[in-house]
Structure 1
């Protein structure tokens, strides 16, 4: 077989499903994407004990999924889950997809999706030229902190120091949820909105997930955070409940129903959390550029505007 381009992808969850949807759409492999997604959703339910497994032994299930004669069929692996008892969870490992029939692609070329816990870091260490990961991790790892806020994913590249990493954001996949400002009614006067302007004058606790500290600093800007003290949920405690105790916080929301159940007001959507296509420019080849163009495109409904990549 000719050149196979490895692409780092998440091992499970919404980001991986978004990647599979994109691959299914651009490479016309919907059955493959559906097979991987349904397998992982079933295994997640098994881990959460909401369904009974077809085969009790996790190693037997892994063998059933991965022992196949077809070299292009998906393979899986085991990880320890963070749930009580840390059960073994079956997650995505890899799959090879030939590019035969794709315009401009050599007949013997292929891509290989390779599961990684943190794909962005795999690109930073030059293991991959292309990958998909949450835009959040880019903010948590490499964006420059400035007094002014960061409002859009499209502005992320401007804050990446090229001496720190060769990785750039190419496009988003449109699977957008938001880091949202949440507050209790007694913290925010009825005449004010729960937004950045309110935070400018606010002094006191702000409850966040510890791993989002640098992200929140980048998104809000260091000037806005003058007089703000970060608080963190106790281990095992629901984030919305901890924010309700602190009075103000930032957390990822989809519908906001859980926040409302805790008496929280939904404030400004501060920053979109979205799966993004990443590229390590130092590892680019002609075939990599072709694959990037296949996965990119203006057909996406995404928070990411057109990115001008500095080369």
Structure 2
């Protein structure tokens, strides 16, 4: 049985979305749950909300102690938290899918691995695609379906296939003292002043608002000691990823327009794609309520 390798993130919501979709298509829900629960447990230990007396190398050995070729494998990654602790993250998993073995391979940046032609298929956050390759335009980019049209074919062979539906949104937020009326893209077009964003999202925000709307704004960023909501409350206006918006409201912020979905997407490098890999995309096809890129 031939093996097809697909690049996936090593941790976090995007990896969980891939595992859940694969479980839905193959029936391997227990396997997906095992990987997800293991990584959440290890994240809690790294964050200090969970305690254990078992050293990390012993835990890693226990997770990987299996003769089953389809058992998940893990590795260690240096976390960015204070002290740079080592963290157990996903390494690989092989699952039979149709006539092939599908091998999920953990990568720090799957999108960049596809750009370097290391894989034909992979999953990553749509955010990274916007941060790196979409062209900035006076008009806003409002949905995933329009992303491929903003990618210069001379820049990369990677394209978005579809989203996985694990959607949260980059949302406009503001204090009541600043916004008078609808808090949407048209408000930003008439606004001049600071706009608070996470540092790595400046280019993304320019893409989803459009360069015409951001001509008179000055980007500012949260200080190391601040949460995003605190920083936006100080600046007056900002863009941040929200789920329910409850934390933003706790800081006195008004929730405005949902600008763009922060969603896990299936990516393909069209130069590397074989017929077998093209057929495998069906395993990750969206349900009727989700968006497919045409």
Same fold judged by TM-score > 0.5?
yes
Tell me the equivalent position of 2:141: 150
Separation in structure 1 between the aligned mates of residue 283 and residue 87 of structure 2, nearest angstrom: 32
Separation in structure 2 between the aligned mates of residue 76 and residue 48 of structure 1, nearest angstrom: 19
Tell me the equivalent position of 2:56: 58
Is 1:9 aligned to residue 3 of structure 2? no
Separation in structure 2 between the aligned mates of residue 253 and residue 300 of structure 1, nearest angstrom: 24
CA deviation after TM superposition for structure 1 residue 296, in Å: 1.5
Tell me the equivalent position of 1:188: 179
Tell me the equivalent position of 1:19: 18
Retained in 2: the 8 A contact 1:173–1:301?
Answer: no
Retained in 2: the 8 A contact 1:173–1:300?
Answer: no
Is 1:129 aligned to residue 120 of structure 2? yes
Tell me the equivalent position of 1:254: 243
1:300 to 1:52, Cα distance in 2 relative to 1, 3 A: farther
Question: Residue 8 of structure 2 aligns to a residue in which SS?
Answer: strand
Matches for 1:240-279 after TM superposition, within 5 Å: 240-279=229-268
Q: Point out the more displaced range, 233-242 or 251-260.
A: 233-242
Separation in structure 2 between the aligned mates of residue 256 and residue 82 of structure 1, nearest angstrom: 26
Question: Residue 283 of structure 1 aligns to a residue in which SS?
Answer: coil
CA deviation after TM superposition for structure 1 residue 137, in Å: 0.5
CA deviation after TM superposition for structure 1 residue 32, in Å: 1.0
Gaps of 5+ in 2: none
Compute the TM-score of the two structures, normalised by the length of structure 1.
0.92
Question: Residue 282 of structure 1 aligns to a residue in which SS?
Answer: coil
**CA-based RMSD:** 1.1
CA deviation after TM superposition for structure 1 residue 41, in Å: 1.0
Which residue of 165, 169, 181 maps to 1:174?
165
Separation in structure 1 between the aligned mates of residue 225 and residue 276 of structure 2, nearest angstrom: 46
CA deviation after TM superposition for structure 1 residue 300, in Å: 5.0
In the comparison of the two structures, how many residue pairs are matched?
294
Tell me the equivalent position of 1:75: 73
Retained in 1: the 8 A contact 2:45–2:51?
Answer: yes
Retained in 2: the 8 A contact 1:4–1:111?
Answer: yes
Q: Which runs of 4+ in 1 moved over 4 A?
A: none
Separation in structure 1 between the aligned mates of residue 96 and residue 104 of structure 2, nearest angstrom: 11
Question: Residue 294 of structure 1 aligns to a residue in which SS?
Answer: helix
Which residue of 78, 83, 86 maps to 1:85?
83
